[in-house]
Homo-oligomer: A and B are copies of this chain.
Amino acid sequence: MKLEHIPVVVHRQSAPAARLSGHARVLMGEIAASLQKLLEHGESTTIDLLAMPLNATDLEWLRQQLGQGEVRITLSADGESTLQETNCPGVWWVQHHDPAGGVLSAFIEITPVPDLARAHQDDMQSGLERLTRQIEELTGPQGRVGG
Copies in the complex: 2
Main secondary structure of the interface of A (DSSP, over half): helix
Q: How far is the CA of A113 from the CA of B115 in the complex (A)?
A: 9
Q: How large is the interface on A (under 10, 10 to 19, 20 to 34, 35 or more residues)?
A: 35 or more
**Is B88 in contact with A28, judged by CB distance below 8 angstroms?**
no
Given known contacts A71-B73, A127-B35, A89 and B120 CB-to-CB distance under 8 angstroms: yes
**Is B28 in contact with A138, judged by CB distance below 8 angstroms?**
yes
Chain B residues, Cβ within 8 Å of A125:
39
Q: Does residue A119 face the partner (Cβ distance < 8 Å to B)?
A: yes
25 contacts between A and B (CB under 8 A): A25-B138, A28-B131, A28-B135, A28-B138, A31-B131, A32-B132, A35-B124, A35-B127, A36-B128, A38-B124, A39-B128, A65-B138, A70-B75, A71-B116, A72-B74, A72-B75, A73-B74, A87-B127, A89-B119, A89-B120, A89-B124, A111-B119, A112-B120, A113-B113, A113-B117
